[in-house]
Amino acid sequence: MLSEKKVVGRNVAIVLGTICIILTVGLIGTIMSYTSIIGENYNTIVSLNSQISSLQNEIANLQNQVIILQNQVNDITNLCGLGTIKISWFNAWLTPDENKLNITATIVNNGSIPAKNFSLKIDVLFYQMSPQNNTRISTNRTFEIGELNINDFRTINWSVTWPEGEGWHFSVDFTLYVNGVETDHQSFGCY
């Protein structure tokens, strides 16, 4: 009986030893697997951080380029007078005898350099709006203006013959061009 207990105890010890070896091998395999996964994730994190740093440097370079280009645009705009010449005042009114429409517009140079090569186009539309009559008469004129010094202004006056008859209304559009580019537009009307 004692010998049977020894054999059973030995068998149990062998089974328990085998289970311990299997568990130890499994544990070592799991640790090695997770160590490999952690290493790969660490390398991925390092690579992504490097990409983020590189992209942040690219963004900073592009932002600097945008600032440089915006300064160039501002310089060109000022040089051409595109952002500095404006229509500061405009009006249109009938003469006392109601046979002329007087039109006036004042152009101002608020820039830091003299403005050259600009023009003002004035479009006048006379119209009658009634069930019996839907008549339109339009006329326009472009005023070429040579140069306008810094903080200087120029006033343009123009008179247009008022159409005969009653019930006429009018609208006037003022369009300012610098080097052929429209830079300002204003409208006035009596409806």
Q: What is the pLDDT of residue 120?
A: 93
Residue type, 173: D
Handedness of CA 186, 88, 74, 180 (dihedral sign): positive
Question: Helix, strand, or coil here: 135?
Answer: coil
Mind listing the pLDDT tens digit for each residue in 22-44? 999 888 988 888 888 888 888 89
- Give the pLDDT mean for 81-106: 85
| Residue with tokens 């019930």, as numbered in its chain | 167
Domain 85-190 sits in CATH at: 2.60.40.10
Determine how many CB atoms are found less than 10 A away from the CB of residue 183.
Answer: 20
Query: What's the whole-model pTM score?
Result: 0.56
Residue type, 88: S
Cβ–Cβ < 8 Å for 157, 67:
no
Mind listing the pLDDT tens digit for each residue in 40-58? 888 899 899 999 999 999 9
